Amino acid sequence: MILNYAREADNQALFNSLFSAIKKQHYSNNNKLDIDTIDYKGRSIAHWAAKCCQDFDTINQLINEGANVNDARNPFAATPLYLAAWEGYTHTAQALLKAGANVDFLASNGATPSHAAAENGHFEMIELLKSSGANFNLACHLGGTPLFVAAQNGHIPVVKTLIKAECNVDSKCHDGATPLFVASQNGNADIVKSLIQAQADVNATLHDGKTPLYAALKNKHEKIAEILKNAGAHQGYVI
């Protein structure tokens, strides 16, 4: 559909002009606008509007025309809300949520809109999803929760927001890694401190016995290692 090409080119003016013209033509013929038409990749106009720009008016237009806010007919099974969360477009997400978007809709890899926001450091989006009842303890297919993803990517504000939301600070991926383990491995002192203050288990181990202290020492993060030792961490696994 030509509207999708306008959106793919990130041409807001062209998209709006085409959208208005198509509506006028359909209404003059007493037809209903097929707003959920998809392109060859299974993406609807709502997907493009949610992904490509912070455009509250356009997404509301699409919603008013009856767009399916939970459309997931693409290979990744990403809804418009997932895409808005990925980009950090809070106003767009707010409109989608108000229209009934599923706040915990699972993409094909098990990720939710909260995972998308956490991966890209959008703490304001996390706050919005929290107020909409998001379950921050849902894990993707690899076992990672939004907190793990935020810790892995070094997004301190998101980590702190999720901790305040009382999510499980000791959630484990399939290999046993916790948010504290990955933060220790990556050398992020502020995240390590925040997790320890939230009573994260400093001696939680991977399935092979590796501890956060082991990860810090292995990667030569001496400051992290000292923080962990002061919190009662044991090395466990021998380097």
Over residues 208-226, the pLDDT tens digits come to 999 999 999 999 999 999 9
Given this model, what pLDDT does residue 43 score?
Answer: 67
What's the alpha-carbon Rg for the chain, to the nearest Å?
Answer: 21
Given this model, what pLDDT does residue 98 score?
Answer: 96
Helices (H), the chain: 2-8, 12-28, 45-52, 56-64, 80-87, 90-98, 113-119, 123-131, 146-152, 156-164, 179-186, 189-197, 212-218, 222-230
> Which residue segment(s) compose the domain that 6 sits in?
1-102
Spell out the residues 6+ positions from residue 150 whose beta carbon is closer than 8 angstroms to its own: 118, 119, 121, 158, 159, 162, 179
Average confidence (pLDDT) over 177-202: 98
Q: Is residue 96 part of a domain?
A: yes
Cα-Cα end-to-end distance for the chain: 57
Q: Is residue 206 part of a domain?
A: no
Given this model, what pLDDT does residue 183 score?
Answer: 98
CATH of residue 30: 1.25.40.20
Mean pLDDT across the chain: 86
Q: Is residue 94 part of a domain?
A: yes
pLDDT tens-digit readout, 102-161: 999 999 999 999 999 999 999 999 999 999 999 999 999 999 999 999 999 999 999 999
Distances (CA, A) of 222 to 18, 138, 156, 186, 230: 58, 33, 20, 12, 12
What's the total number of domains in the chain?
1
Percent of the chain with pLDDT over 70: 79
pLDDT tens-digit readout, 165-188: 999 999 999 999 999 999 999 999
Q: Is residue 216 part of a domain?
A: no
Q: Is residue 112 part of a domain?
A: no
Query: Is a pLDDT exceeding 60 seen at residue 11?
Result: no
Q: Is residue 224 part of a domain?
A: no
The Cα–Cα gap between 185 and 50 comes to 35
Given this model, what pLDDT does residue 28 score?
Answer: 45
pLDDT tens-digit readout, 49-93: 677 656 677 788 888 888 899 988 888 899 999 999 999 999 999
